């Protein structure tokens, strides 16, 4: 069977797209092989019956992400900006943690009203400033420390360890930082490596949080439109990869130039054992929207990580809808999680009516033991690895992994 021309990229999610963009920029003509019938992977958008876009898994764009800024023209993408902060339900009432008079990027510098002690607030500011002075690459390599002498390997130790080491009070972690980051990491124990927390915290404090008005699939289209020389094959599922060949539909397809693999499980060295999962539901509700594009948090609950009123964020027809994300622990039953979502929101005075739409994402974020370059070698015997599972569990991590794998490929083929 004939070999594919040019470098082959397996998987057309964010990582695969970044790999192809990087290869094209260096004059290559890559081949992109995607199992689904559209590109984008975890960046996917459904439509409610009235046409309102809803992402399959609520997610946002941290506009400070260096990798997004490489490829994305935010004006052309047409985004909605979130108000920095949150509405937090605590001790029977709602607290608004936001100061819209401040620069919208300064989430953590402005999130002060009422929650956390003065000491916590000073520690937030110290963290914002310390992270501002640290290069993103150094953070991802676990080099961010309280001082040089105690520079710990934060790429491997947990976020919970770091928050304690930084001296935040348990109340501040429990009432705000914990619930806020449980929604980002999709796990409540804050076991995600501290370097990932530090990186995300830095990004949130350095630029506004956005969401494409038409959903994440608009971002996919924006990236895909920039590909001019890539031969894209959708509906093409690869079964296995080694340095010399790809397995497709039970047949072997030789590789001319080796492959970049963005999908865990196709090569014995690139596996993700555990994933954080979530259930994302749009309910009908009669509760009043916040009136500002803020997310809501319910500290102390088991399931709901965050929610927002769609009228505040997505607009669309009909005001009475709430978009809720809950953790989905391994072995859970969907109907039980749904019941818990209703009762947790009910206790905060938000009634959930009919389910308008729902998506369960079993493989939402890879649960990595370490992030950054320590997570995975760039290549093993001619196969290059990318994807968030090979670097860090975020869109920036996926894009960066794709770019780095393509750069490693280019370096390895410089003599050709």
Ligand X SMILES: Cc1cc2nc3c(=O)[nH]c(=O)nc-3n(C[C@H](O)[C@H](O)[C@H](O)COP(=O)(O)OP(=O)(O)OC[C@H]3O[C@@H](n4cnc5c(N)ncnc54)[C@H](O)[C@@H]3O)c2cc1C
Residues binding ligand X (CB under 6 A): 10-16, 33-36, 41-43, 57, 59-60, 237-238, 262-263, 266, 278, 361, 364-365, 387-388, 393-398
Of 309 and 328, which has the nearer Cβ to ligand X? 328
Give min distance, CB of 183 to ligand X, in A. Answer: 9
By DSSP bridging, strand 238-241 and strand 245-248 are: antiparallel
Return the DSSP state at 173: I
CB closer to ligand X, 165 vs 240: 240
Hey, which residues does 283 pair with through a beta bridge? 322, 355
Q: Which is nearer to ligand X, 140 or 262 (CB)?
A: 262
Smallest separation, CB 203 to ligand X (Å): 8
3 state DSSP class of 283 = strand
Angle at 158 between CA 155 and CA 161, to 5 degrees: 120
Gap between the Cα atoms of 261 and 231, Å rounded: 16
Q: Which is nearer to ligand X, 116 or 309 (CB)?
A: 309
Answer for the pair 334, 124: CB distance below 8 angstroms, yes or no.
Answer: no
Paired tokens of 174: 């429990």
Q: What is d(CA 196, CA 186) in angstroms, rounded to the nearest whole number?
A: 13
Could you give the CA distance from residue 9 to residue 7 in angstroms, rounded to a whole number? Answer: 7
Two tokens, residue 371:
């992030």
* Contact between 155 and 370 (Cβ < 8 Å): yes
Give least dist CB 329 to ligand X, A: 15
Nearest 5°: phi and psi at 353?
-90, -135
Instruction: Rank residues 11 and 289 by Cβ distance to ligand X and give the closer one.
Output: 11
Q: CB 288 → ligand X: shortest distance, Å?
A: 26
CB of 15 to ligand X, least distance (A): 3
Start-to-end CA distance of the chain, whole Å, equals 23
Q: Minimum CB separation from ligand X for residue 361, in Å?
A: 5
DSSP 8-state code for residue 114: T
Looking at the Cβ atoms of 178 and 393, the one nearer to ligand X is 393
Pairing relationship of beta strands 31-33 and 93-97 according to DSSP bridges: unpaired
Q: Output the smallest distance, CB 6 to ligand X, in A.
A: 17
68 or 90: whose CB is closer to ligand X? 68
From the CB of 390, what's the least distance to ligand X, in Å?
A: 8
| Closer residue to ligand X in complex, CB, 17/90 | 17
To which residue do tokens 């999680």 refer?
Answer: 337
């Amino acid at each position: 069977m004939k070999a594919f021309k040019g470098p082959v990229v397996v998987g057309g999610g964010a990582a695969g797209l970044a790999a192809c963009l990087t290869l094209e920029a260096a004059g290559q003509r890559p081949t992109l092989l995607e199992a689904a019938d559209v590109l984008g992977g975890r960046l996917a958008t459904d439509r409610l019956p009235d046409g309102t876009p809803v992402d399959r898994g609520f997610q946002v764009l941290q506009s400070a992400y260096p990798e997004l800024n490489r490829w994305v023209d935010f004006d052309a993408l047409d985004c909605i900006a979130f108000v920095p902060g949150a509405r937090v339900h605590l001790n029977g009432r709602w607290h608004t943690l936001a100061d819209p008079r401040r620069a919208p990027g300064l989430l953590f510098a402005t999130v002060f009203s009422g929650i956390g002690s003065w000491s916590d607030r000073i520690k937030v500011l110290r963290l914002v400033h310390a992270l501002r002075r640290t290069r993103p690459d150094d953070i991802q390599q676990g080099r961010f420390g309280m001082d040089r002498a105690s520079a710990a390997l934060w790429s491997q130790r947990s976020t919970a360890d770091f928050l304690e080491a930084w001296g935040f009070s348990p109340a501040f972690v429990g009432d705000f930082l914990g619930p806020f980051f449980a929604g980002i990491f999709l796990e409540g124990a804050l076991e995600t490596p501290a370097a990932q927390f530090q990186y995300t915290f830095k990004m949130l404090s350095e630029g506004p949080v956005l969401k494409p008005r038409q959903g994440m699939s608009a971002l996919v289209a924006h990236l895909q439109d920039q590909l001019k020389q890539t031969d894209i094959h959708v509906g093409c599922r690869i079964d296995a990869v080694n340095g010399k060949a790809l397995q497709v539909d039970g047949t072997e397809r030789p590789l001319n130039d080796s492959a970049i693999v963005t999908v865990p499980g196709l090569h014995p060295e690139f596996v993700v054992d555990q994933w954080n999962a979530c259930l994302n539901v749009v309910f009908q509700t009669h509760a009043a929207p916040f009136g500002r594009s803020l997310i809501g948090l319910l500290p102390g609950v088991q399931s709901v990580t965050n929610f927002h009123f769609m009228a505040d964020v997505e607009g669309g027809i009909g005001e009475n809808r709430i978009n809720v994300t809950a953790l989905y622990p391994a072995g859970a039953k969907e109907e039980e999680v749904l019941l818990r979502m209703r009762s947790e929101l009910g206790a905060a005075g938000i009634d959930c009516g009919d389910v308008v739409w729902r998506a369960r994402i079993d493989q939402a974020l890879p649960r990595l033991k370490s992030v950054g370059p320590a997570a995975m070698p760039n290549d093993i015997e001619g196969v290059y690895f990318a994807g968030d599972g090979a670097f860090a569990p975020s869109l920036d991590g996926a894009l960066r992994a794709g770019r780095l794998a393509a750069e490693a490929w280019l370096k390895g083929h410089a003599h050709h």
